[in-house]
Amino acid sequence: MFNAPVRSPLASRKTTMIDSFQKLAGRIRPLRFVAMGAGVLLTVAAGALIFLSDHHENDRYLIPCAVGVLWCLSAYVFVSTFESVPEKAETARGFWHRLGRRLHRGWYWLLAFVFVGSTVAALLLTMRLVSIWFKDY
């Protein structure tokens, strides 16, 4: 008499933030090594400006190098962290397996919140450093 609505398996599966981060990290995965290489080059450039330069005129390139290193490091850590998020726990598995999977995903949720917070902080720091850079140079 009572007909329950038929749900597709895809309709019951919501996309969460960490799943979206995993998809994004998978798409930009080839840029991981580009970000690492650019970060190393910018770090070497900043070190050369600090230790090898005698003129204070070259100090104007330190702020862009610092901002570049910050964002390269952020991109590399994002891709390295979120490319391997575990799948959601299946109901067919045992209790301990589901609990372990949920705890593992819970760790990624904590990392996601930390990453969002650090991205906001990096954005604010970038805006501040760029405004100082434009004002001074």
Domain boundaries, the chain: 17-136
* 24 Cβ contact partners less than 8 Å away, ≥ 6 residues apart: 82
Separation CA 15–CA 45 (nearest Å): 41
Residue 10 pLDDT:
46
Tens digit of pLDDT for each residue in 95-134?
888 888 899 999 999 999 999 999 999 999 999 999 999 9
Separation CA 120–CA 52 (nearest Å): 33
Residue 44 pLDDT:
96
Check if the beta carbon of residue 61 is closer than 8 Å to that of residue 28: no
Tens digit of pLDDT for each residue in 56-86?
777 889 999 999 999 999 999 999 999 999 8
Mean pLDDT on 6-31 = 79
Tell me how far CA of residue 135 lies from CA of 46, 49, 122, 132, in angstroms. Answer: 20, 20, 20, 5
Rounded to two decimals, the pTM is 0.79
Separation CA 82–CA 1 (nearest Å): 47
Mean pLDDT on 1-7 = 51
Residue 2 pLDDT:
52
